């Protein structure tokens, strides 16, 4: 039995993984969807990337061994950050249309101008949080802007995790992850998959995503 720590992307809470979690539990595993500081009912406008990585590291420490870390979009930053802190507890990393940073990278540095402009426009109200795009689920919350701006510090230990998977979603325009998918597809330590769907894979392809996750154990 494995435990899947499910990390959402920007503006979203653990609710985005509801169907995926149900499938994993039905197969006898544990699922731990994470709602990060500021993305639930309590605002946390000063949270930064280090804050969110610390929350995932805490989850890793409390859930034991035989863990699979799964991160969508922004959540890829936290997958790498938490795995760098505790690689021995983790059996697999899964990046779901997500950022895969090197040390010194940030969401801001890795993304495209389209998303930088979106972050700037979304932060106009208070300068601390970025409002969710109007097209997103009404459960979405303003995202602490510092988590997009702060650079990550990695020692490279996350690469010790034996299984690393990247899932690209190719059914939406303006993706900042297409070149990353191509690059990782040529690296022998990575497994890559491509879905013909929009960015929100956990909501759009829960069964297909769960099938890949189950293959990690």
Instruction: Kindly list the catalytic residues.
Output: 73
Buried b / exposed e across 125-135, counting CB within 10 Å, b at 16+?
Answer: eeebbbbbeee
Query: And the tokens for 72?
Result: 């969508």
Contact 1, 28 (CB under 8 A): yes
Buried b / exposed e across 2-12, counting CB within 10 Å, b at 16+?
Answer: bbbbbbbbbbb
Residues of the chain by 3-state class (helix, strand, coil), percent to 5: 40, 20, 45
- Of 169, 161, 126, 160, whose CA–CA distance to 146 is shortest? 126
Query: And the tokens for 180?
Result: 């990353």
Tally DSSP H helices, then E strands, for the chain.
9, 8
d(CA 43, CA 130): 12
């Amino acid at each position: 039995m494995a435990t899947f720590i499910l990390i959402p992307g920007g503006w979203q809470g653990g609710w985005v993984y509801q169907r995926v979690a149900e499938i994993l539990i039905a197969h006898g595993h544990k699922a731990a969807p994470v709602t990060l500081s500021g993305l639930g009912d309590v605002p946390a406008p000063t949270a930064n990337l280090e804050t969110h990585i610390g929350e995932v590291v805490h989850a890793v420490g409390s859930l034991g061994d035989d863990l699979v870390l799964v991160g969508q979009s922004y959540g890829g930053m936290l997958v790498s950050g938490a795995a760098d802190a505790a690689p021995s507890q983790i059996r697999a990393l899964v990046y779901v249309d997500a950022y895969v940073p090197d040390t010194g990278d940030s969401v801001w540095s890795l993304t495209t101008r389209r998303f930088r402009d979106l972050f700037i426009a979304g932060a106009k109200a208070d300068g601390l949080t970025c409002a969710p795009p109007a097209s997103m689920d009404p459960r979405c919350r303003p995202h602490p802007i510092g988590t997009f701006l702060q650079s990550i510090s990695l020692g490279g230990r996350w690469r010790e995790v034996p299984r690393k998977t990247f899932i690209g979603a190719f059914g939406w325009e303006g993706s900042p992850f297409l070149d990353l998918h191509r690059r990782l597809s040529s690296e022998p330590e990575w497994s890559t998959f491509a879905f013909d769907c929009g960015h929100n894979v956990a909501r759009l392809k829960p069964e297909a995503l769960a099938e890949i996750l189950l293959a990690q154990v």
